[in-house]
Structure formats: C-alpha cells, structure tokens
C-alpha cells in the first residue's frame, strides 16, 4: 500500500479531493491517517471542517467490529459472520414464504459507492425478488431529478463542470446554502459576488444570503413554501419586460404558448402579496438575471425542492432559466446542487423504486430486456416498480407492507419524516437488519446489526455533483471484524440460491455496471477503471467507443427525443399557496393559537445529515453539540422566550425540546431547526409524512407548522 493515498472526502457531493497518509509522523501520533487537501477543480485544495476531521472516525472507539444479533432477552450479542448471514438469509426466506416477495424490503442510501448501489438494486430484484427497494435520496434529490427529467429529458445535477461558475456574473441561488453545506464551493461564486450578481432566495438570512451584503447582490426572503409563485413572478417580469431570449425559445424549446397565460397571471404586486417579497425587488432581481445572459446561472437546493410542490417549483426554476436562454449554452446554465457524497450516482443505478441501472425505467420493456440480459435472468422475472420511501416506511409491518427490512446506508429514525411513526414501524417488523459502521439510532431497532467498511477502507467509484465519476481508494486496512456490502451480498445471494453473479470485487462490479448502463441516459460504458485511476475527467454520459465523456451536456440537444427542452406550465395548486402544508390541527382553536409558526429544517456546517458520523468527531461535537431553535426576537418576546432558554415545539406528530437562539436573520413567522440530532432534539418527530409531492413523492421538510412555547427549565429534565 502506498504511503499516501489520493481519494475524496466521505461526506457531501462536492467530493473534495484529499490525500490520506497513514504513515506520517502526525498520523503516528494521532492514531489515524493525516488528511491533506489535494488540488482538484471542485475544491482546489480546500475543504470544510468535516473533511479535515474525517479521518478521526477511522480510529473511533465506537466503531462496530462484529455482527450483533438480538437474543430472546432483547440484548445484542456478538456472533460470527457465518451465524449472522445464515440467520439473515433464513429470515428473508421465511418472510417471502409467509408474505410473498414484497414482504421483504431494502432501504439504501446516497452515500454508497456506485458499485454498492448498483449491486443493492440487483440484489433486491433478483436475489430477494422484491419490488420494495427505495433509498434516502428520495428525501433529497427526487424533486429536482423529476423536474430535470420532465423539462430537460435528463437528470445530471450540474450539467456542466463546477469551474464554469468561476466566470459567472450572475447566479440565482434558490433555497441553497452552500456557505454552510459546501463551503469550498463558495470560491466558485466569488466572481459573481464581486460583480454584485448573487441573488439568494432564502427565508433566512443564511450564511449564503449574507454573501449578498456590501454590494454582493440581493437577498429575497419569501414566506417558506412560496418559491413557485416567486419564480412565476420573476418569469413574468422576464417575459413582460422583453428580457426573454426569443430566438433560443424558438430553436430549443417547446411549450411556450401554454406557459405564457400562466405567467400573465403573476405580476409582481400579486406575487408580493403571496410571497412577501417586495415587487420592486422582484423586478430588480429579474433584470439582474437578464443583464448578461452569457454569464448567468440558476441553481436550486433543498430549500425549494423539499416541498410537496418541489417538482413544480424546480420546474418553474428551469422555466425561468429557459426563458433567459441559459441551459445548454456555454458560460450559462441551470443546475441543482446534489447533496450526498454519491447522491448523483446513487440515483442512477437502480436503488430507486422505479429504476434500473443507467437511469432506466423499470417499466420500460426494452430497459428490462437489456438489464435482464446483463444479469442473466428472464425479463419477466424482474419485479415491477416498488413504492417510494415514504410509503415504504409508513407501511412497515402492516398488511401488504414490508415485514422484513434491510437498511443499508440510511439512519431513518433521524432522517425520515414523522420519525416517531417510522420508529414504531421498525418495531412492528418481523426482522430488521441494519448495516453501518457506527451503531445508529436506527440500529437500536434492529434484530441484526452488521459492521461495514468506512470510505477510506474500501475501493469503488462515486459520481460527484457535476456528474463526474471519481475513484474512492483504500488508504487503510479495515478492522478485522468488518466486511463490505459487496461481500455481504455475494454471501447472501449464495445462501438464497440467487441467479446471476454477485461479485465481491468492486472493479468487477463496475465492469458489470458499465454494461448494464450502456445505452441508458446515465451511460458509463466508456468509462474505464484505468481512466479513472489515471485521473481522467470522466463525466457521463460516456458511451463505449466515444473518445471522451460529456463535461457539458445539452450543448446540441436536450434529452427528449425531439432534442428540445419543455417549458412545463406549472402553477400553484391552490390560490396563492401550492398546497397548504400545515397539519390538521388537533382542535380548531389551535389554528390560530399563539405560537403557531412555520418550521423550516436544514443544516449546520459542522454536522452531517443524521449526525451518526459527525456527532462522534470531537471538535465537530464541541462546535455544535445540539440543535438550537432559531427564532425572531419579536416572536420570542411575544411568547415569553428568552435567549438560550428552553422551548418546546409540538406538532400533531410529536414534540421537540431545544434551547432558543434569538436572531433577526429569520422571519418573525418562521423558526429554523437543524435535523442532525437525536432523542428530544429530533426535528423529524415534528415533520409530516401525510402529504407528498405527486410526482417525486418528496415529503414536506421545509414548511411545516409547529406550536412553540417557552418551557420551564424543570420541564426539560424529564
Ligand atoms: N454541513 C453539512 N453539509 C451538507 C449536508 C449536511 O448534512 N451538513 N448534507 C448534504 C446533503 S445530503 C444535502 S441534500 C445538501 C443540502 O444543502 P442545502 O440545500 O444548502 O441545505 P439545507 O440547509 O437543507 O437548505 C438550504 C436552505 O434552504 C432554506 N429554505 C428552507 N425553506 C425554504 C423555502 O421554503 N424556500 C427557500 N427559498 N429556501 C428555504 C433554508 O433556510 C436553508 O438555508 O447539503 C450537503 N452538505
Ligand atoms: N427535517 C429534515 N429531514 C431531512 C432533511 C432536511 O433537510 N430536513 N434532508 C433529507 C436529506 S437531503 C437527506 S440526504 C437525508 C439523509 O438522511 P439519512 O439517510 O438518515 O442520513 P445519513 O446520516 O447520511 O445516514 C446514513 C447512515 O448510513 C451510514 N453509512 C454511511 N456510509 C455508508 C456505507 O457506505 N454503507 C453503509 N451500510 N452505511 C453507511 C452512516 O453512518 C449513517 O448512519 O435526510 C433527509 N431528512
Ligand atoms: S465540502 Fe463536502 S466534500 Fe468538501 S470537505 Fe466539506 S463535507 Fe467534504
Ligand atoms: Mo441530501
């Protein structure tokens, strides 16, 4: 093994390049590899605190190192892999016999390598023969993906390299806070900021919104959940002030005639009434976006996508970009910032309920034939589409629901909406298997916990937010008791008499993935392991035989058969508001009860996702030991809430206890909570899973309704 290994950060989709050196003097002292930033286009040697401290977890004392099986007394005991895998295969077989194939289910994640995600989808379909597989990316990228597929005919988060943004003069940032969620990305916005061209849309004055201070641009602070209307207003100004690119619309799009009447109805003063954003600011922002269209980008994040109208809102953002003539033109564009480390690759190769590898549809007969041939099975033996994550998780243990579940790469007890109900569902299962490297809150409900490898202990590929495939490399040996999922799947497949091959070797699985993806939208067939190792820029689609990949998509044509992008005439579903996301109040009087506020949830720089990794890193924990409720001082005063004092948040689903922090960065009608924490601080105990986006099945993470009240400090200690 070479002394220092070139790899990428384990966490987010920016996939900052790093070097891990287990042999340096520092490594010797600290007991884990030394991390150094590595020059690479996305991060240019920079990283955030999570990346710098990531290697600490390789030596964590809380690492899982042996399979844990729950005994009849309810306690976990270490067992051998042989016993663990026999038991798992036995339980899955029994559940299939008892309830049918769809009685077993798999829940994956966007942190898995391409090879593991691909193999997991294959394992579900032909070893377990179930349609019931979905993954945490449903809570992440599904609205943006659905909108891009619908409008552009292909979903690659950024259809251009991140470095293209370096030359931008104007960037519209819709519900995305990269200053905290991808700090090294912010360097690519510097040029636009210098030109006063950042337009940040966020109900909070986030770290990213603060970049618009001192002439950096403008911050629009809409009522949460009203972005669709705001985007219709911006598009209205573009059309009515003659700023649309008529020639581009004529050559490259369809659907303008259907869109124009929708836009007519949303003049800025009307939009102001719904969104609270002043009409003059809407006009100013629209003109800023149109000032120099060969230098303008429109980017979305979870703030506009994680809503029950998230797909339509993302479509409205694409419409705006198309009206301005941006997508598919060098030096301008539309994109969404993918979140998880392999959020992009993880949504391409078959973890999704309705999908086969290469971004193929599981209901398309030609796709089924192609993939079945690669897998060596009959197309008729492939199950049909399964159910999306919320439905899978809300029917656990129920009639026709999943009875025996394998969670591999998600911590649903923290990350999924209505997490209290999810926990009850897990409890109702006949058997739950959780694979993780740390004992997660979800593992607490498991019957069997299997220890897997961390990023720096495994080999594989990841696809970053710009659609570039990267090599993840092994820098250290794994602890003796841990195994990787490819091996686990190979062992289980054998025990389940599965057809086809389940290789434990990542390079072999990648070769198969290439073949399975060939001819699909996300075509990896031309990308070789050798090219990846040589550091070639491997952007998909890269069909076999093509000399190179596709750093910039859509230059000649969009992904639809006619090569054109579609302007989708999206409109709010009810007057003003898309769908009222507020939960049904228990009692009528709660409707107007004092303290009923809009809850938005999101992220801190120092914590990652469910926190199962970053809560164990000492310096990150010290910086952000828990959740804090961000609340406006005027609202706090009206409710008798002091800065730093405990508050209770309730919704019909559950309650959360946290300290308050008074801040004028948030609107008076809105409060903000991060979702990284466990126990009484679990934000998702409050979040509803009752309504989802009709296209993407995204729940409403960003605009719920909660009641907030001051809490007597004694009430906290219970
Ligand atoms: N530190 C850190 N970084 C991460 C992650 C992490 O957990 N921690 N996770 C990674 C993942 S998986 C993802 S998906 C990305 C997410 O990255 P982002 O999309 O940047 O993250 P969020 O904080 O979820 O939401 C962004 C912003 O949306 C705003 N927002 C909330 N509601 C609304 C609304 O109705 N309208 C508008 N316009 N804005 C709204 C919030 O105030 C917030 O500032 O981050 C990735 N990077
Ligand atoms: N309220 C609210 N909820 C949200 C969001 C929000 O903004 N607000 N954001 C949503 C978003 S964007 C996302 S992406 C989800 C994430 O939600 P989760 O899936 O709950 O988050 P993670 O912490 O990434 O969970 C991954 C788990 O898998 C483990 N793990 C990591 N890598 C591997 C691997 O290679 N193999 C295996 N077997 N395990 C691994 C980690 O240790 C961790 O326990 O949360 C969603 N939930
Ligand atoms: S920005 Fe993302 S990839 Fe880069 S160091 Fe931070 S967590 Fe890692
Ligand atoms: Mo995400």
Burial of 714 (0-12, 13-18, 19+ CB in 10 A): exposed
- Phi, psi (rounded to 5 degrees) for 653: -95, -25
Question: What is the strand order of the sheet 448-451 is part of?
Answer: 76-78, 68-70, 448-451, 431-436, 404-408, 104-108, 133-135
Q: Dihedral, CA atoms, 190, 193, 199, 205, nearest 10 degrees?
A: 80
Contact 311, 146 (CB under 8 A): yes
Looking at residues 530-554, what average pLDDT do you find? Answer: 97
Statement: residue 304 has pLDDT above 80:
yes
Which of 82-96, 168-182, 389-403, 700-714 shows the lowest mean pLDDT across its residues?
A: 700-714
Q: Does the beta carbon of 341 lie inside 6 Å of ligand 2?
A: no
CA distance 228 to 233: 9
pLDDT of residue 337: 98
**DSSP element (H, E) containing 516:** helix 506-517
Q: Does the beta carbon of 183 lie inside 6 Å of ligand 3?
A: yes
Looking at residues 573-590, what average pLDDT do you find? Answer: 42
pLDDT of residue 583: 38
Task: Determine the residue of 177, 181, 182 to mutate for testing ligand 3's pocket, defined as the one with the most ligand atoms within 8 A of the Cβ atom.
Answer: 182
Average of per-residue pLDDT values in the chain: 95
CA distance 430 to 162: 46
CA distance 623 to 627: 11
CA distance 4 to 19: 6
Position of tokens 């009484």?
Answer: 680
Question: 500 C-alpha to center of ligand 3: Å?
Answer: 37
Looking at residues 559-584, what average pLDDT do you find? Answer: 73
Nearest CA to ligand 2 atom 24: 609
Nearest CA to ligand 3 atom 1: 182
Of ligand 1's listed atoms, the one at least distance from the Cα of 307 is: 35
The three-state secondary structure class of 432 is: strand
Structural tokens at position 654: 């559950």
Contact 324, 245 (CB under 8 A): yes
pLDDT digits (tens, 9 = 90+) for 271-293: 999 999 999 999 999 999 999 87
Statement: residue 395 has pLDDT above 70:
yes
Statement: residue 592 has pLDDT above 60:
no
Contact 531, 540 (CB under 8 A): no
Statement: residue 578 has pLDDT above 60:
no
Question: 670 C-alpha to center of ligand 1: Å?
Answer: 16
Residue of 500, 411, 407, 395 whose CA lies nearest to 122: 500
pLDDT, greater one: 594 or 282: 282
* CA of residue 166 relative to chain centroid, distance: 24
Question: 317 C-alpha to center of ligand 3: Å?
Answer: 26
CA angle, 262 then 263 then 269, to 5°: 120
Strand partners of residue 396: none
Q: Does the beta carbon of 57 lie inside 6 Å of ligand 3?
A: no
Question: 369 C-alpha to center of ligand 1: Å?
Answer: 39
pLDDT of residue 3: 75
Of ligand 3's listed atoms, the one at least distance from the Cα of 12 is: 2
Statement: residue 205 has pLDDT above 80:
yes
CA distance 9 to 53: 10
Using pLDDT thresholds of 50, 70 and 90, give the confidence band for residue 589.
Answer: very low
CA distance 175 to 153: 23
Angle formed by the axes of helices 310-323 and 227-240, nearest 10°: 20
Strand partners of residue 107: 134, 407
- What ligand is nearest to the CA atom of residue 109? 2
Nearest CA to ligand 1 atom 16: 339
pLDDT of residue 580: 40
The winner for highest mean pLDDT among 567-576, 593-602, 646-655 is 646-655
Nearest CA to ligand 1 atom 24: 602
Nearest CA to ligand 3 atom 2: 12
Nearest CA to ligand 1 atom 8: 608
Rg (the chain; Cα; Å) = 24
pLDDT of residue 584: 38
- What domains, with CATH codes, occur in the chain? 5-59 (2.20.25.90), 68-138+350-452+484-518 (3.40.50.740), 142-336 (3.40.228.10), 587-717 (2.40.40.20)
Of ligand 1's listed atoms, the one at least distance from the Cα of 672 is: 42
Strand partners of residue 706: 597
Using pLDDT thresholds of 50, 70 and 90, give the confidence band for residue 2.
Answer: low
The three-state secondary structure class of 478 is: coil
Question: 11 C-alpha to center of ligand 3: Å?
Answer: 6
- Phi, psi (rounded to 5 degrees) for 710: -70, 145
Of ligand 1's listed atoms, the one at least distance from the Cα of 302 is: 19
Contact 105, 410 (CB under 8 A): no
Q: Does the beta carbon of 387 lie inside 6 Å of ligand 3?
A: no
Question: 164 C-alpha to center of ligand 2: Å?
Answer: 29
Q: Does the beta carbon of 37 lie inside 6 Å of ligand 3?
A: no
Q: Does the beta carbon of 12 lie inside 6 Å of ligand 3?
A: yes
pLDDT of residue 226: 97
Q: Does the beta carbon of 136 lie inside 6 Å of ligand 2?
A: yes
Q: In the chain, what percentage of residues exceed pLDDT 70?
A: 96
- Phi, psi (rounded to 5 degrees) for 365: -55, -40
Contact 577, 705 (CB under 8 A): no
Position of tokens 């005439």?
Answer: 569
Cβ partners under 8 Å of residue 622, min gap 6 = none
Nearest CA to ligand 2 atom 6: 602
Angle formed by the axes of helices 114-122 and 485-495, nearest 10°: 20
pLDDT of residue 331: 96
Instruction: Pinpoint the alpha helices (H) of 472-585.
Output: 485-495, 506-517, 529-533
Question: 601 C-alpha to center of ligand 2: Å?
Answer: 15
Statement: residue 496 has pLDDT above 70:
yes
Statement: residue 585 has pLDDT above 90:
no
Using pLDDT thresholds of 50, 70 and 90, give the confidence band for residue 83.
Answer: very high
Using pLDDT thresholds of 50, 70 and 90, give the confidence band for residue 586.
Answer: very low
* CA of residue 232 relative to chain centroid, distance: 25
Task: Determine the residue of 178, 276, 602, 606 to mutate for testing ligand 1's pocket, defined as the one with the most ligand atoms within 8 A of the Cβ atom.
Answer: 602
Nearest CA to ligand 3 atom 6: 48
Cβ partners under 8 Å of residue 134, min gap 6 = 107, 108, 351, 352, 353, 386, 387, 388, 389, 392
Task: Determine the residue of 411, 599, 617 to mutate for testing ligand 2's pocket, defined as the one with the most ligand atoms within 8 A of the Cβ atom.
Answer: 411
pLDDT of residue 517: 98
Looking at residues 680-708, what average pLDDT do you find? Answer: 97
CA angle, 339 then 345 then 350, to 5°: 120
Q: Does the beta carbon of 506 lie inside 6 Å of ligand 3?
A: no
Q: Does the beta carbon of 602 lie inside 6 Å of ligand 2?
A: yes
- What ligand is nearest to the CA atom of residue 703? 1
Structural tokens at position 7: 């790899």
Of ligand 2's listed atoms, the one at least distance from the Cα of 601 is: 8
Q: Does the beta carbon of 14 lie inside 6 Å of ligand 3?
A: yes
Helices and strands: H and E segment counts in the chain: 24, 28
Which of 54-58, 498-502, 709-713 shows the lowest mean pLDDT across its residues?
A: 709-713
Q: Does the beta carbon of 112 lie inside 6 Å of ligand 2?
A: yes
Of ligand 2's listed atoms, the one at least distance from the Cα of 452 is: 38
- What ligand is nearest to the CA atom of residue 305? 1
Residue of 601, 566, 594, 598 whose CA lies nearest to 582: 598
Looking at residues 85-97, what average pLDDT do you find? Answer: 98
Contact 673, 651 (CB under 8 A): no
The three-state secondary structure class of 4 is: coil
Of ligand 2's listed atoms, the one at least distance from the Cα of 609 is: 23
Using pLDDT thresholds of 50, 70 and 90, give the confidence band for residue 36.
Answer: very high
- Phi, psi (rounded to 5 degrees) for 107: -125, 115
Question: 415 C-alpha to center of ligand 2: Å?
Answer: 6
pLDDT of residue 717: 55
pLDDT of residue 594: 76
Using pLDDT thresholds of 50, 70 and 90, give the confidence band for residue 147.
Answer: very high
E-assigned strand segments in 136-220: 170-174, 198-201, 217-220
Question: 176 C-alpha to center of ligand 1: Å?
Answer: 5
């Amino acid at each position: 093994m070479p002394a220092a290994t070139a790899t990428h950060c384990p966490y987010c989709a920016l996939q900052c390049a790093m070097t891990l050196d287990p042999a340096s003097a520092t490594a010797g002292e600290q007991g884990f590899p030394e991390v150094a930033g590595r020059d690479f286009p996305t991060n240019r040697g920079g990283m955030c605190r999570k990346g710098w401290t990531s290697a600490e977890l390789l030596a964590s004392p809380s690492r899982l190192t042996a399979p844990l099986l729950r005994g009849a007394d309810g306690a976990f005991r270490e067992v051998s892999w042989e016993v663990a895998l026999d038991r798992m295969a036995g339980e899955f077989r029994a559940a299939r016999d008892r309830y049918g194939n769809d009685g077993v289910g798999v829940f994956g994640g966007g942190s898995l390598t391409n090879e593991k995600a691909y193999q997991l989808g294959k394992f579900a379909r032909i070893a377990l023969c179930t349609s019931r597989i979905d993954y945490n990316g449903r809570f992440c990228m599904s609205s943006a993906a659905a909108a891009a597929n619908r409008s552009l005919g292909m979903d690659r988060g950024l259809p251009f390299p991140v470095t293209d943004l370096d030359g931008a003069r104007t960037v519209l940032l819709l519900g995305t806070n990269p200053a905290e969620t991808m700090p090294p990305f912010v360097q690519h916005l510097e040029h636009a900021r210098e030109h006063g061209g950042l337009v940040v849309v966020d109900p909070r004055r986030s770290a990213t919104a603060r970049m618009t201070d001192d002439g950096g641009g403008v911050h629009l602070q809409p009522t949460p959940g009203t972005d669709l209307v705001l985007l219709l207003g911006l598009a209205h100004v573009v059309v009515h002030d003659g700023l649309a690119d008529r020639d581009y619309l004529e050559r490259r799009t369809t659907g303008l005639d259907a869109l124009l009447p929708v836009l007519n109805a949303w003049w800025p003063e009307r939009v102001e009434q719904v969104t609270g954003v002043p009409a003059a600011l809407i006009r100013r922002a629209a003109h800023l976006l149109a000032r120099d269209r060969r230098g303008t980008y429109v980017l979305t994040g979870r703030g506009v996508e994680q809503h029950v109208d998230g797909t339509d809102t993302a479509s409205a953002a694409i419409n705006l970009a198309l009206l301005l003539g941006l997508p598919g033109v060098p030096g301008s564009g539309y994109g969404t910032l993918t979140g998880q480390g392999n959020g992009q690759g993880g949504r391409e190769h078959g973890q999704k309920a309705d999908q086969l590898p290469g971004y193929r549809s599981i209901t398309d007969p030609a796709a089924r034939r192609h993939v079945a041939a690669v897998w060596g099975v009959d197309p008729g033996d492939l199950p049909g589409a399964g159910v999306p994550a919320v439905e899978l998780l809300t029917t656990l243990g129920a009639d026709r629901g999943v009875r025996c579940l394998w969670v591999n790469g998600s911590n649903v007890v923290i990350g999924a909406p209505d997490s209290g109900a999810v926990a009850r569902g897990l409890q109702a299962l006949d058997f739950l298997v959780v694979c993780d490297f740390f004992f997660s809150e979800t593992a607490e409900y498991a019957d069997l916990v299997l220890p897997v490898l961390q990023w720096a202990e495994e080999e594989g590929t990841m696809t970053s937010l710009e659609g570039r495939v990267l090599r993840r490399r092994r820098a250290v040996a794994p602890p003796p008791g841990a195994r990787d999922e490819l091996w686990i799947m190979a062992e289980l497949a054998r025990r389940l008499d599965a057809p086809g091959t389940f290789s434990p070797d990542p390079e072999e699985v990648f070769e198969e993935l290439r073949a399975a993806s060939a001819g699909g939208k996300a075509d990896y067939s031309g990308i070789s392991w050798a090219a990846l190792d040589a550091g070639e820029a491997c952007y998909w689609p890269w069909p076999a035989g093509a000399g190179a990949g596709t750093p910039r998509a859509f230059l000649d044509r969009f992904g639809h058969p006619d090569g054109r992008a579609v302007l989708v005439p999206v409109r709010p579903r009810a007057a003003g508001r898309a769908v009222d996301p507020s939960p049904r109040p228990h009692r009528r009087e709660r409707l107007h009860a004092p303290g009923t506020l809009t809850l938005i949830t999101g992220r801190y720089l120092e914590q990652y996702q469910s926190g199962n990794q970053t809560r164990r890193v000492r310096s990150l924990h010290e910086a952000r030991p828990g959740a804090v409720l961000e609340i406006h001082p005027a609202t706090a005063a009206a409710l008798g809430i002091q800065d730093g004092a405990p508050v209770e948040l309730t919704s019909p689903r559950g309650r959360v206890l946290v300290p308050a922090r008074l801040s004028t960065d948030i609107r008076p009608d809105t409060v903000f909570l991060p979702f990284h924490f466990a126990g009484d601080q679990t934000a998702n105990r409050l979040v509803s899973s009752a309504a989802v986006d009709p296209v993407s099945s995204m729940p409403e993470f960003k605009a719920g309704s909660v009641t907030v009240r001051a809490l007597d400090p004694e009430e906290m200690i219970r």
